[in-house]
C-alpha cells in the first residue's frame, strides 16, 4: 500500500510538473512571437514591424505637427525621438495631457503607407504616473528642445 | 504632537511584534513553555496599536495637517471628506501602514478566536505572523515613515490624483488589502504547521475560513477594480492585463487553488504538501504583486536608482520571506506529504486538475508581468499585453471550465464516469443551443464563441449537484459552491459578450444632431459648463432612445481639476436588462467656418454587466460557505462548553466538514 501511495504521489507530481513546465514553455514561446514590442521612431524607421502586428510606438509629439482632420475626431501628428519621424493617425478622444511637445505612447499598427495607425494613446496621467516606456523620453525631449 | 504620537505607537507595535516572535519561538522549546501564555495577548495589543497609528494618520488627513509631509504631498484642503480619508492610503507610506494594520488586526483576531489548532502549531503560527509583520514595521520605520514632518509648512497640499477621486476607488485598496493580508494568515498557518509537522485535516479546517475570507475580499476587490477601470478610465474596457491588475489577479488565482486543495485536505487528508505549498505561494504572490505596484519598479526599473534604499529593502524582504518559506518547505515536505490515495476518476482528481490549471495560469501571468522587467534589464524594451495574456491563459482556462461542468458531481476517492455522464446531457444541450445562437448572431471568433457556449452550460451544470435534494435542506456550504460556480458561468458569458457583441461609434456631433449606435439613437441636446467641489466640467446632455422607446438622459462630463491641474473624462452609463449604453464626451472641435462640434464616443455593450454580477455571485458563494463554517464552529464551541459528557456530539460535529464536503456523494448513495 505504502509503495503504491508513493507511486501515486510521484505520478501526481509528474503531471503537475509537466503542466507547469508546459505552461512556462508556452509562455516563453508566446512572448517571443506575440508580445507587442515597443519601438522608438528610430527603431521603427530602421526596422519596421510587419503590417498587421500590434506594437507600441513611443516618442515626443513634434511641435507644430498636430493636425485635426475635417471629420472632427481624427488627428494626425508626428512622433519623433530626434533621430527619426513617424507620422501617426489616431481617431478617438485624446487623453487629457496629450499635447504637442509632450511624450506619448501609441498602441496600434504600422500601415502599409508608412503611417502608424493608433487605436489607443497613452499619455501621462500626471507628474507622478508616467507610462513605463516614457520615462527615458524625458531625456529625448530635452535633447530635442536643445536643438531648437 | 499627534504625528509623533503616531510614530511612537508604531515603534511600540513593532517592539511587541518582536516580543511576539521571541515568546512564540521560545514556547516551542523545552525550557520556554512558560512563554506561551503571553503570545496571544501580545498579538492582540500589537494589532490594536497599529490600528491606533493608522487612526491618527487618518485624522491628520481629515484635518489636512500640512506640517506632515505625506498629507501635504497627497491631500488638499478643498477635497471632499471621503477623499481626504481615502487619501490616507492613496500613497506609498499610507498604504504600507494600512498593510501592517490589517496584518496586525488579523493576527490579533486569530489569537483571540482560533482554538482548533494544537497549541504548539498556534504558537508557531503567531510567531510566524510576527516575523512577517516585523519586516513591514522595519520597512515603514526606516524607509517609509508616514509621519515625517515637513518644514516650512506649505500653504496648501498637492491634492490627490483625480482618477483616484472616485467613491469606488476610495474603498478599493482596503478591500484588496484585507484579501492580501488575510492570505498572510494562511501563510503563517502553513509556516506553523511545517514547523511542528502538523499538516492534516485539522490544519486545513483551521486555515480554510481565513483563506475563504481573504478570497472573498480579493474577489470583491478585483470585481470592483475592474468596474472602476471600466467606467472611470473611459476606455470602455474591463480588463487590460495591466501589471497593477495582474498584481491582484495572481494572489486570487493562488487563493482559489488553495481553497480547493484545502477542501481536499480537510475532507480526505490528501494533497498535504501541495496545500502547504499553495499557502506559501498565495501570500508570496500578494507580496510580489503589492511591491511591484508600490515600489515603483513597474513604472520604471530605474526606480531602484531613484530610491535604492527602498528598492533594496523590498527585495530583501521578498528574499527573506519567500526564500525562507520555500526552504522550510523543502526541508519538511517529505515528512508531511503522506496522504490518502484516490482514483483517476474522483472528486480529488478533478480538484487536482483545477489546481494545476490555476497554477499554470498563475505562472503565465507571472512570467508575462515580469518579462518586460527582465528584458529591460537586458536592454530591450518590450510591452506585454492582451495579445499574449488572453489566448495563452485561455488555453488553460477552457479545459478547466470543461472539467468544472462535471467535477463537482464526482464522488470522493473513486467514481465511474458512466454514473454521471447521463447528467451531462443537459449542460451539453445548453452549450449547443447557446453556441448555435451566438453563431446565428454572427459571432465567428473562437474564444467569444466558446465563452458564450460554455457560460450558460456552466450555470446549468453548477446546479446539478443539488439534484435530488430538498432545496431548503441542502447544506449552506453546498449552496455556496453552487452559486460561486454559477457566478463563473455568468461572468464568462459577460466577458465573451463584450468581445462578441460590442458596437462602437466615434463621432463629432453638432448640438441637436442624432447618432445611431446599435439599437440606440442618441441626440446631443446641449453642452454646458458645471462646477463641483474641486473641479469644473463641460457636461454633455444626451437624450437616448432604445429602439424607438422612451427617452433617457445621460450626462457625460469632461472634468478639469485644479489641484493638481488636470482633466479627465467622466463617462455616463445607462443599463438595461440586456446591456449597457456607455458614453464619453471628448474635446470641442471648431471647423474653419466656425462651426462647433463635440467628440462623442458611444458604445452599446450587450450583457456586459454580467461580468461584474458574475464576480459578485462568486463572492456571495464564498460568503455562504464561510457562513456555514462559522455556524459549524459556533455549534462546536457550544457543544464543547456543555462539557465532557457530550463528547460524542463534539466528535460528530467535527466530522461535519467531511460530511458536508461530501455533498454530492450523499444523494447518490
Tell me the shortest Cα–Cα distance from A31 to chain B, in angstroms. 6
406-445 in chain B: CB under 8 A from chain A: none
Q: How far apart are CA B30 and CA B44, in angstroms?
A: 25
Tell me B174's DSSP state: H
Radius of gyration of chain A (CA): 22
Residue A3, Cβ density class (10 Å: 0-12 exposed, 13-18 middle, ≥19 buried)? exposed
Closest approach of chain B CAs to the CA of A5, in angstroms? 6
At residue B464, the pLDDT reads 93
Residue B482 to residue B408: CA distance in whole angstroms: 9
- In the predicted model, residues of chain B with pLDDT beneath 70 are 160-165, 168-169, 294-309, 311, 337-338, 563-564, 643-669
Which pLDDT belongs to residue B163? 63
Assigned C-alpha cell, B72: 501635504
Closest residue to B564, CB basis, from A56, A93, A126: A126
The H or E element containing residue B477 is helix B476-501
∠ CA(B181), CA(B183), CA(B187), 5° rounding? 115
In B571-631, where do the E strands start and end?
Answer: 572-576, 579-590, 596-606
- Taking contacts as CB-CB distances below 8 angstroms, the residues of chain A near B584 are 93
DSSP code at position B320: I
**Does A47 contact B at CB distance below 8 Å?**
no
Optimal mutation site among B358, B363, B383, B537, interface A, most CBs of chain A within 10 A: B383
Which of A21, A35, A89 would best serve as a mutation to test chain B binding (most B beta carbons within 10 A)?
Answer: A35
Check the CA dihedral B58-B61-B65-B68 and report its sign.
positive
CB contact under 8 A, B359 and A20: yes
- d(CA B337, CA B348) in angstroms, rounded, equals 16
Half-sphere exposure of B158 (CA within 13 A, CB side): 15
Nearest to B511 by CA among B543, B552, B537: B543
Asked if residue A138 has pLDDT above 70, the reply is no
Residue B451 C-alpha, separation from nearest chain A C-alpha, in angstroms = 21
Which residues in A lie closer than 8 A to residue B381 (C-beta atoms)?
37-38, 133
Residue B277 to residues A139, B359, B574, Cα–Cα distance (Å): 45, 12, 45
Residue A9 confidence (pLDDT) above 80: no
- A125 among annotated binding-site residues: yes
Which pLDDT value is given to residue B505? 93
Q: Can you tell me the distance from the alpha carbon of B629 to that of B618, in angstroms, rounded to the nearest whole number?
A: 17
Q: Does B387 touch chain A if contact means CB atoms closer than 8 Å?
A: yes
DSSP B230-249: HHHSSS--S----HHHHHHH
* CA B545 distance to own-chain centroid: 37
Give the model's confidence band at A143: pLDDT under 50 very low, under 70 low, under 90 confident, else very high. Answer: low
Kindly write down the DSSP assignment for every residue of A122-143, as one continuous string: E--SSSS---GGGTTHHHHHHH
Q: Is A5 at the interface with chain B, CB within 8 A?
A: yes
Q: Testing the interface with B: which of A66, A73, A136, A139 to mutate, by most B Cβ within 10 A? A: A73
A128 touches chain B (CB under 8 A): yes
Question: Which is higher by pLDDT, A30 or A136?
Answer: A30
Residues of A in contact with B597 (CB under 8 A): 72
Distance from CA of A19 to the nearest CA of B (A): 7
Cis peptide bond prior to B564, omega within 30° of 0: yes
CA distance A17 to A8: 14
pLDDT at position B644:
53
Please return the burial class of B399, using the count of CB atoms within 10 Å of its CB with bins 0-12, 13-18 and 19+.
middle
- In this complex, the residue of B299, B360, B584 whose CB is nearest that of residue A93 is B584
A56 touches B at CB < 8 Å: yes
Q: How far is CA B624 from CA B213, B408, B486, B621, in A?
A: 11, 17, 14, 5
pLDDT of residue B556: 94
A2: pLDDT strictly greater than 60: no
Is A5 close to B339, i.e. CB distance below 8 A? yes
Distances (CA, A) of A120 to A54, B87, B546, B547: 11, 29, 29, 30
Going by C-beta distance under 8 Å and a sequence separation of 6 or more, which residues neighbour residue B323? Answer: none
- Over residues B349-390, the pLDDT tens digits come to 899 999 999 999 999 999 998 888 777 777 777 778 888 899
Burial B178-208 (b: 16+ CB within 10 A, else e): bbbbbbbbbbbbbbbbbbbebbbbbbbbbbb
| Residue B168, SS3 per DSSP | helix
Q: How many CB atoms lie within 10 A of CB A54?
A: 17
The span from the CA of B205 to the CA of B657, in Å, is 8
Q: Tell whether the torsion through CA atoms of B315, B320, B324 and B325 is positive or negative.
A: negative
Q: Strand A85-91 and strand A116-122: pairing?
A: parallel
Q: Does A70 touch chain B (CB under 8 A)?
A: yes
- Torsion sign over Cα B37, B40, B41, B45: positive
For residue B372, whether the previous peptide bond is cis, meaning omega lies within 30 degrees of 0, is no
State which residue of chain B sits closest to A106, comparing Cα positions: B383
Question: Residue B522 is inside which H or E element, if any?
Answer: strand B520-531
C-alpha cell at B425: 446531457
CB-based contact (8 Å) between A135 and chain B?
yes
- Phi-psi map region of B5: left, alpha, beta (phi>0 left; psi -120 to 50 alpha): alpha
Instruction: Tell if the CB–CB gap between B601 and A70 is shorter than 8 Å.
Output: no
CB contact under 8 A, A135 and B395: no
Enumerate residues 214 to 243 of chain B having a beta carbon within 8 A of any beta carbon in chain A. Answer: 234-235
CB contact under 8 A, A24 and B363: yes
Q: Which residue(s) pair with A103 in the sheet?
A: A60
Q: Would you state the pLDDT for residue B668? A: 35
This prediction has a pTM of 0.89
**What pLDDT does residue B295 have?**
63
Question: What Cα–Cα distance (Å) separates residue B319 from each residue in B127, B135, B142, B188, B324?
Answer: 19, 11, 18, 16, 7
Residue A139 clears pLDDT 60, i.e. is over it: no
Dump pLDDT digits (tens) for A101-117.
Answer: 778 888 899 998 889 99
Amino acid at each position: 500500500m505504502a509503495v503504491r501511495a508513493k507511486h501515486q504521489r510521484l505520478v501526481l507530481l509528474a503531471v503537475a510538473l509537466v503542466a507547469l513546465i508546459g505552461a512556462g514553455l508556452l509562455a516563453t514561446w508566446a512572448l517571443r512571437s506575440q508580445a507587442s514590442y515597443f519601438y522608438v521612431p528610430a527603431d521603427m524607421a530602421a526596422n519596421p514591424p510587419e503590417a498587421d502586428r500590434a506594437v507600441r510606438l513611443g516618442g515626443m509629439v513634434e511641435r507644430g505637427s498636430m493636425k485635426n482632420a475635417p471629420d472632427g475626431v481624427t488627428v494626425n501628428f508626428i512622433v519623433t525621438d530626434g533621430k527619426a519621424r513617424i507620422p501617426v493617425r489616431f481617431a478617438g478622444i485624446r487623453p487629457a495631457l496629450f499635447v504637442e511637445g509632450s511624450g506619448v505612447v501609441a498602441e496600434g499598427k504600422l500601415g502599409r503607407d508608412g503611417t502608424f495607425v493608433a487605436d489607443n494613446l497613452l499619455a501621462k496621467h500626471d507628474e507622478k504616473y508616467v507610462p513605463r516606456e516614457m520615462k527615458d523620453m524625458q531625456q529625448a525631449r530635452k535633447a530635442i528642445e536643445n536643438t531648437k | 504632537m499627534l504625528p509623533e504620537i503616531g510614530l511612537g505607537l508604531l515603534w511600540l507595535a513593532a517592539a511587541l511584534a518582536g516580543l511576539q516572535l521571541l515568546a512564540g519561538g521560545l514556547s516551542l522549546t523545552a525550557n520556554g513553555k512558560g512563554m506561551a501564555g503571553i503570545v496571544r495577548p501580545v498579538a492582540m495589543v500589537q494589532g490594536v496599536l497599529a490600528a491606533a497609528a493608522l487612526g491618527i494618520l487618518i485624522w491628520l488627513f481629515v484635518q489636512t495637517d500640512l506640517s506632515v509631509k505625506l498629507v501635504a504631498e497627497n491631500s488638499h484642503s478643498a477635497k471632499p471628506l471621503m477623499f481626504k480619508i481615502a487619501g490616507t492610503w492613496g500613497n506609498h507610506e499610507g498604504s504600507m501602514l494600512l498593510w501592517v494594520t490589517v496584518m496586525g488586526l488579523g493576527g490579533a483576531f486569530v489569537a483571540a478566536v482560533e482554538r482548533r489548532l494544537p497549541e504548539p502549531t498556534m504558537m508557531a503560527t503567531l510567531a510566524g505572523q510576527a516575523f512577517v509583520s516585523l519586516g513591514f514595521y522595519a520597512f515603514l520605520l526606516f524607509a517609509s515613515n508616514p509621519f515625517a514632518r515637513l518644514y516650512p509648512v506649505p500653504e496648501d497640499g498637492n491634492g490627490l490624483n483625480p482618477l483616484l477621486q472616485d467613491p469606488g476607488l476610495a474603498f478599493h485598496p482596503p478591500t484588496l488589502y484585507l484579501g492580501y493580508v488575510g492570505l498572510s494568515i494562511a501563510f503563517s498557518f502553513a509556516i506553523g504547521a511545517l514547523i511542528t509537522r502538523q499538516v492534516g485535516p485539522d490544519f486545513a479546517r483551521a486555515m480554510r475560513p481565513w483563506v475563504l475570507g481573504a478570497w472573498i475580499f480579493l474577489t470583491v476587490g478585483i470585481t470592483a477594480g475592474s468596474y472602476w477601470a471600466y467606467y472611470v478610465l473611459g476606455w470602455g474596457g474591463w480588463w487590460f492585463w495591466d501589471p497593477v491588475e495582474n498584481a491582484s489577479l495572481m494572489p486570487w488565482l493562488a487563493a482559489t487553488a488553495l481553497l480547493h486543495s484545502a477542501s481536499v485536505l480537510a475532507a480526505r487528508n490528501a494533497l498535504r504538501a501541495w496545500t502547504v505549498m499553495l499557502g506559501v505561494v498565495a501570500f508570496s504572490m500578494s507580496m510580489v504583486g503589492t511591491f511591484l505596484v508600490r515600489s515603483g519598479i513597474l513604472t520604471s526599473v530605474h526606480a531602484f536608482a531613484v530610491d535604492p534604499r527602498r528598492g533594496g529593502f523590498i527585495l530583501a524582504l521578498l528574499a527573506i520571506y519567500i526564500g525562507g518559506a520555500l526552504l522550510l518547505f523543502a526541508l519538511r515536505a517529505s515528512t508531511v506529504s503522506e496522504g490518502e490515495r484516490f482514483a483517476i476518476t474522483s472528486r480529488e482528481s478533478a480538484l487536482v486538475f483545477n489546481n494545476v490549471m490555476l497554477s499554470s495560469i498563475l505562472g503565465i501571468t507571472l512570467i508575462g508581468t515580469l518579462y518586460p522587467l527582465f528584458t529591460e534589464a537586458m536592454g530591450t524594451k518590450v510591452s506585454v499585453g492582451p495579445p499574449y495574456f488572453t489566448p495563452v491563459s485561455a488555453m488553460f482556462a477552457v479545459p478547466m471550465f470543461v472539467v468544472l461542468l462535471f467535477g463537482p458531481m464526482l464522488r470522493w476517492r473513486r467514481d465511474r464516469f458512466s454514473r454521471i455522464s447521463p447528467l451531462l446531457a443537459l449542460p451539453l444541450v445548453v452549450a449547443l443551443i447557446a453556441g448555435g445562437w451566438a453563431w446565428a448572431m454572427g459571432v465567428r471568433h473562437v474564444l467569444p464563441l466558446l465563452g458564450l457556449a460554455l457560460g450558460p452550460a456552466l450555470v446549468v451544470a453548477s446546479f446539478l449537484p443539488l439534484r435530488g435534494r430538498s432545496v431548503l435542506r441542502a447544506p449552506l456550504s453546498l449552496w455556496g459552491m453552487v452559486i460561486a460556480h454559477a457566478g463563473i458561468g455568468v461572468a464568462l458569458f459577460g466577458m465573451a459578450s463584450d468581445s462578441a457583441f460590442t458596437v462602437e461609434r466615434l463621432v463629432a456631433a453638432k448640438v441637436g444632431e442624432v447618432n445611431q449606435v446599435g439599437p440606440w439613437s442618441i441626440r446631443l441636446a446641449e453642452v454646458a459648463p458645471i462646477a463641483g467641489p474641486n473641479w469644473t466640467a463641460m457636461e454633455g446632455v444626451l437624450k437616448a432612445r432604445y429602439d424607438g422607446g422612451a427617452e433617457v438622459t445621460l450626462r457625460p462630463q469632461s472634468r478639469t481639476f485644479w489641484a493638481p491641474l488636470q482633466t479627465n473624462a467622466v463617462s455616463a452609463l445607462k443599463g438595461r436588462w440586456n446591456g449597457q449604453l456607455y458614453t464619453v464626451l471628448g474635446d470641442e472641435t471648431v471647423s474653419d467656418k466656425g462651426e462647433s462640434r463635440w467628440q462623442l464616443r458611444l458604445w452599446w455593450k450587450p450583457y456586459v454587466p454580467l461580468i461584474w454580477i458574475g464576480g459578485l455571485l462568486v463572492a456571495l458563494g464564498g460568503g455562504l460557505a464561510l457562513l456555514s463554517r462559522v455556524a459549524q464552529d459556533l455549534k462546536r464551541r457550544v457543544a464543547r462548553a456543555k462539557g465532557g459528557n457530550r463528547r460524542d456530539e463534539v466528535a460528530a460535529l467535527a466530522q461535519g466538514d467531511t460530511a458536508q464536503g461530501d455533498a454530492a456523494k450523499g444523494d447518490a448513495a
